[in-house]
Amino acid sequence: MAIVSICRGSKSGGQALAECLADYLDYPLLGREILQTTATAFGVSEEEVTHHFHRSPTVWDRHAAIRRVYVVAVQATLAEHLSTGNLVYHGLAGQVLLRGLPSVMRIRLIAPVEMRVRVLMESDGMTRSAADQHIRTVDAARARWVKMMYGEHIEDPTLYDMVINVATMSIPTACDFIAVGLQQPEFAVTDDVLSQFGDFRVACRVKLALVSESETRGLPLEVKAHAGVVTVSGSAPMLATGETGDRIAAIARGVRGVKEVRLKVQWFDPYP
Amino acid sequence: MAIITISRGTKSGGRAVAECLAKGLGYPCVAREVLQEAAEALGASEAKVREKLTTPPGPWDVITRERHAYVVAVQSALASRCVGGNLIYHGLAGQFLLRDLQGVLRVRLVAPMPLRVQAIVGLHAHTTHEAAERFIRKLDRERRRWVRRMYGVDLTDTSLYELTINLESIALETACLMIGTLARRPPYETTDAMLARIDEFATTSRRHLQAIAGGGR
């Protein structure tokens, strides 16, 4: 059992590698359909969710709050798929959405632009210049998205366990040696790892519940879970009625899998 | 059979991975030996050759192209080691010295700074963590500048390598196992065609060195 996350630029062979690995290891495969699942859950179109994952935020981002909701929702959907301990994920932002989890092999696949242009020309019948322009635009938007949302450079190799260049390597060859790595102890999904995935799942559900409610959506809150005990930290306005704290606790308590809620929130006066 | 180059920052586990691979694949593993052979060919000291391959070139080097002779000598020594098709090279600039040779498996290892600092502090008890980190950052900076000046690229650019492995989460033994598996697959497994290319590359490198040495430095 293991979890694999594949991040790649458009037309870099990521889907082929993910399918090869899922087939070879007999693991479930999850890709862009995660956006459809999230869209359905929110009663919006897939394009609406995709838009917030693809369009890079600007400094003055009018849609920051709703973008955050969708990102948290996609992360929560992804967390639900970890329950069996087997998954090949090749959707968006896996390297940041699954950050900090054990036994996840985070791979980045890169390919020369010329190779990707050729693939796009053949698959979509584009001219060379249109294909080149498209790839560079998509790459730049994704890089900006990761930078704005997480403050990281998408090409930073330390975000991944491995960066694989398919300029000279075939997809079956890449698939072959990754499978060897996945069988090693650091990627084994033990009972302890499964329990950490369970904690992550509960924390993601609580985060989603908090961003789904208008009173708590804009608050910079962090959520951690351990064996059903959820700790919410961050900062929130201190209202005379004390309602904010009560609402955070009530929302969190209403989430499946939560047994106890602990607040470590720093309260501030919104009207000093 | 394969030719593998391992690039890494100082104390990033390069030697350990190279030795593990050499043991698993039964290939010779070289680094410093290549510098020694180059030094011998040029009648210079090993320290001088090392300096020319690590310290960033200044304006004088650009005018005299003196440094070029040292690079060609190291390339020639490395090329002659490649003849036969089995080699693990974990010395300086392997990915650049063999860039004209198709089928080389170029690996880069990255490791988190605390791990690298610990490797130095563990070896030198009198070195503080701060001093070790300063030393590592200085070397990293100099190597990046050397590569930028000599080849016009960024040493950390992942497109220069077939595989970049982060040793923060991947164990040395796992890295070794994966690279070993990859080395046995095409196009990295040495074929007769590649052996012929290596021979040609070694001959060209040797002639290049002779031309430079004959022309005076």
Look at residue A240 and tell me whether its pLDDT is greater than 60.
no
Q: B62-66, B118-122, B148-152: which range is least confident on average?
A: B62-66
* Mean predicted lDDT score pLDDT of chain A: 89
Q: Where are the alpha helices (DSSP H) in chain B?
A: 14-25, 32-42, 46-52, 59-64, 66-82, 94-97, 113-123, 129-151, 172-183, 192-214
Whether the pLDDT of residue B126 is over 50: the answer is yes
Burial (CB < 10 A; 0-12, 13-18, 19+), residue A170, is middle
Instruction: Report the chain A residue with the minimal C-alpha distance to residue B113.
Output: A158
- Name the helix (H) or strand (E) containing A149: helix A128-150
Residue A246 above 70 pLDDT?
yes
Tell me the CATH number at A93: 3.40.50.300
Q: Are A260 and A271 in contact (CB under 8 A)?
A: no
The confidence band for A59, taking pLDDT boundaries of 50, 70 and 90, is low
What's the mean pLDDT in B138-147?
90
pLDDT at B77 over 80: yes
Say if A108 is an interface residue toward chain B (CB within 8 Å).
yes
Considering only A104-108, A237-241, B134-138, B178-182, which range has the smallest mean pLDDT? A237-241
What's the pLDDT tens digit per position in B33-43? 999 999 999 89
- Same domain, yes or no, for A70 and A203? no
Structural contact between residues B148 and B96, judged by C-beta atoms closer than 8 angstroms: no
Residues of A in contact with B174 (CB under 8 A): 181, 184, 186
* Domain identity same for A152 and A248: no
If pLDDT is split at 50, 70 and 90, which confidence band does A214 have? Answer: confident
Domain ranges in chain B are 3-212
> If pLDDT is split at 50, 70 and 90, which confidence band does B62 have?
low
Which residues in chain A are closer than 8 Å to B172, comparing Cβ atoms? none
Per CATH, which fold does B3-212 belong to?
Answer: Rossmann fold (3.40.50)
Residue A86: CB atoms within 10 Å: 17
| Between B4 and A146, the higher pLDDT residue | B4
**Type of residue numbered A148:** M
SS3 B154: coil
Percentage with pLDDT > 70 across chain A = 93
Same domain, A71 and A171: yes
A133: left (phi over 0), alpha (psi -120 to 50) or beta: alpha
Q: Do residues A19 and A44 share a domain?
A: yes
Tens digit of each residue's pLDDT (9 = 90 or more) over A65-118: 677 888 898 999 999 999 999 999 998 889 889 999 999 999 999 999 999 999
Q: Which residues 220-259 of A are in CB contact (within 8 Å) with B?
A: none
Residue B160 has pLDDT above 80, yes or no: yes
Q: Are residues A18 and A60 in the same domain?
A: yes
Q: What is the pLDDT of residues B97-119, one digit of tens each?
A: 999 899 999 999 999 899 899 98
For tokens 């470590």, name the residue: A264
Domain boundary (A156, A189, A222) is at A189
- Asked if the Cβ–Cβ distance from A163 to B186 is below 8 Å, we say no
CB pairs under 8 A between A and B: 74
Interchain contact, B158 vs A110, CB within 8 Å:
yes
* A183 and A94 fall within a common domain: yes
Task: Please indicate, yes or no, whether residues A213 and A149 belong to a single structural domain of this protein.
Answer: no
A198 and A230 together in one domain: yes
Separation between Cα atoms, residue B135 and residue B54, nearest integer Å: 14
Q: What is the pLDDT of residue B64?
A: 64
Task: Answer yes or no: do B163 and A178 touch at CB < 8 A.
Answer: no
- Are residues A171 and A157 part of one domain? yes
Residues A179 and A203 occupy one common structural domain: no
Residue A62 has pLDDT above 60, yes or no: no
The pLDDT, as a whole number, for residue A60 is 58
Question: What pLDDT does residue A235 have?
Answer: 85
Residue A53 pLDDT greater than 80, yes or no: no
When pLDDT is averaged across residues A5-13 and rounded to a whole number, the result is: 90
The confidence band for B217, taking pLDDT boundaries of 50, 70 and 90, is very low
Cβ distance of B186 and A158 shorter than 8 Å: no
Q: What is the mean pLDDT of residues B83-93?
A: 92
Res. A224 pLDDT band, cuts 50 70 90: very high
Element (H, E) at A148: helix A128-150
Residues A79 and A163 in one domain: yes
For residue B12, what pLDDT is reported?
A: 85
A180 chain-B contacts, CB cut-off 8 A: 177-178, 181
Could you tell me which of A226, A227, A224 has the C-alpha nearest to residue A264?
A224
Reply yes or no on whether the pLDDT at A241 is more than 70.
Answer: no
Is residue B174 pLDDT above 60, yes or no?
yes
B96's tokens:
């650049």
Whether the complex's predicted ipTM surpasses the cut of 0.85: yes
For residue B6, name the pLDDT band (cuts at 50, 70, 90): very high
Please identify, among A189, A219, A242, the residue that sits at the C-terminal boundary of a domain: A189
**Exposure letters B106-144 (e unless 16+ CB within 10 A, then b):** bbbbbbebeebbebbbeeeeeeeeeebbebbeeebeebb
Average pLDDT rounded to a whole number, residues A165-174 = 95
Question: What mean pLDDT is predicted for residues B47-65?
Answer: 79
Banded model confidence at residue A58, pLDDT cuts 50, 70, 90? low
Together in a domain, A244 and A206: yes
* Rounded average pLDDT over B3-9: 93
The closest alpha carbon to A2, from A19, A20, A21, belongs to A21
Cα–Cα–Cα angle for A167, A170, A173, rounded to 5 degrees: 130
> What's the number of domains chain A is made of?
2
Distance CA A107, CA A20 (A): 14
d(CA A203, CA A221): 11
pLDDT at A120 over 50: yes
Q: Which of B173, B182, B189 to substitute to test the interface with A, most A CBs within 10 Å?
A: B182
Mean pLDDT of chain B: 90
Range of the domain at A230: 192-268
| A165 closest CB neighbour out of B162, B168, B170 | B162
